[in-house]
Amino acid sequence: MFLTQKLPILIVLFSFLVSPFLSFASKAESEQPINIILNDWTSQIVLSHITAEIFHNMGYKTQFTQKTSSAQWGALQRGLSHVQIEVWQGTMEKMYDRMIANGGIIDAGTHDALTREEWWYPDYVAELCPGLPDWQALNACAHIFSTQETSPKGRYLSGPWEKPEAAKIRALNLNFKVIQAKGSNDLWAELAKAKQHKQAIVFFNWTPNWVEAKYKGHFIEFPDYHADCETIPEWGVNPKFLHDCGNPKKGWLKKVAWQKMPIKWPCAFKTLKNINFDNEQLASLALEVDGNGLTYQQAAKAWLRKNQRLWKNWIPASCQ
């Protein structure tokens, strides 16, 4: 009688006494590592490291897998990878919508950051090409953007991300040719070189990013984005073609997860939903690496050290 009544209390007492000595790992619902996708731009990589460290702190194991933003979807859908911490509307909305509709991936919430991904030029180019940032000014000065590869057309230097730039050029009848950079470092190198020689350049850039801290410049103003622009040819200035518009100017930035993550690692998923960065935080993280030479890990660790109160609050009380 005594024992059966008191047993629950004894168990509670016992676990209370012992729990501080148990490793954090005992709190993870599964020993299997959470696989986090590393894409190929700086803020995404730093945020991935921050996320991994937060999960470690909660007792989870993590792994990274490098995937381009176009190759990531299959891995997420099949459960080979489980988290992508920066899904940008301007480049990834189409695949995001399709994958959510398929049910393979789930939305893990939206960052506060508002994003824009678009053709961009440094300040001094405005003097070389009057009428910018209006896109209609581009054709009259296509020649000043031309390179050996593109002459007599202007060069538009794109990134390796999912964007139908050639279709946009065709739909807006621009006298430009797309040259695709291998990665963001190539974009920054071309920007520095062009600036040094005061040469015209227009390339794929985005915000928040480190560039805005170091270079003044502008996005090209294309016809305003509308979802119909990408699905209904009749929409917009060109009735025959899709993509006759720019990217969203206040785009979303989302986190996505493998659909079974909430069952397999419930506390990690709840925490992922709370992880939230704004424009300023993202731009300064990117600047630490691309401007100030820190490694991705160093930038992540420094941020975690300085912002403990903030990120510890992202872990729900029931998971601590």
- Which of 120, 135, 206, 269 binds ligand TMO (CB under 6 A)? It is 206
Alpha carbon separation from 316 to 62, 261, 271 (Å, rounded):
19, 16, 7
Question: Binding-site residue total for ligand TMO (CB under 6 A)?
Answer: 7
Q: Nearer Cβ to ligand TMO, position 201 or 283?
A: 283
Among 39, 38, 36, which Cα is nearest to 52's? 36
When asked if residue 96 is in the footprint of ligand TMO (CB under 6 A), the reply is no
Of the residues 60, 73, 88, 258, which one makes contact with ligand TMO according to CB under 6 A:
88
Rule CB under 6 A: say whether 207 interacts with ligand TMO.
no
Q: Is 115 helix (H, G, I), strand (E, B) or coil?
A: strand
Tell me which of 36, 37, 41, 145 binds ligand TMO, using CB under 6 A: 41
Residues in 229-268 at the binding interface with ligand TMO, rule: CB under 6 A:
none
How distant is the alpha carbon of residue 284 from its chain centre? Answer: 14
Q: Checking DSSP bridges between strand 34-38 and strand 62-66, what pairing results, if any?
A: parallel
CA distance 45 to 33: 18
| Interatomic CA distance for residues 92 and 280, integer angstroms | 22
Q: Which is nearer to ligand TMO, 89 or 150 (CB)?
A: 89
Window 45-84: contact mask with ligand TMO (x via CB under 6 A)? ----------------------------------------
219 belongs to the binding site for ligand TMO (CB under 6 A): no
Minimum CB distance to ligand TMO, residue 159 (Å) = 6
- The set of residues, in sequence order, having a beta carbon less than 8 Å from that of 65 and lying 6+ positions away, is 35, 36, 37, 38, 75, 80, 81
Shortest gap between Cβ of 148 and ligand TMO (angstroms)?
26
Considering the complex, what minimum distance in angstroms separates the CB of residue 275 from ligand TMO?
17
Q: Provide the token pair at 156.
A: 């538009």
- Residue 254 burial by CB count (10 A; 0-12/13-18/19+): exposed, middle or buried? buried
Residue partners of 86: CB distance under 8 A and separation at least 6: 39, 43, 44, 47, 111, 253, 255
Position 290 contacts ligand TMO (CB under 6 A): no
Please identify, using beta-carbon distances, which residue of 91 and 238 lies nearer to ligand TMO: 91
Q: Is residue 118 close enough to count as binding ligand TMO by CB under 6 A?
A: no
Please give the residues from 139 up to 198 whose contact with ligand TMO meets the rule CB under 6 A.
Answer: 159, 161
**Which residues are near ligand TMO by CB under 6 A?**
41, 88, 91, 117, 159, 161, 206
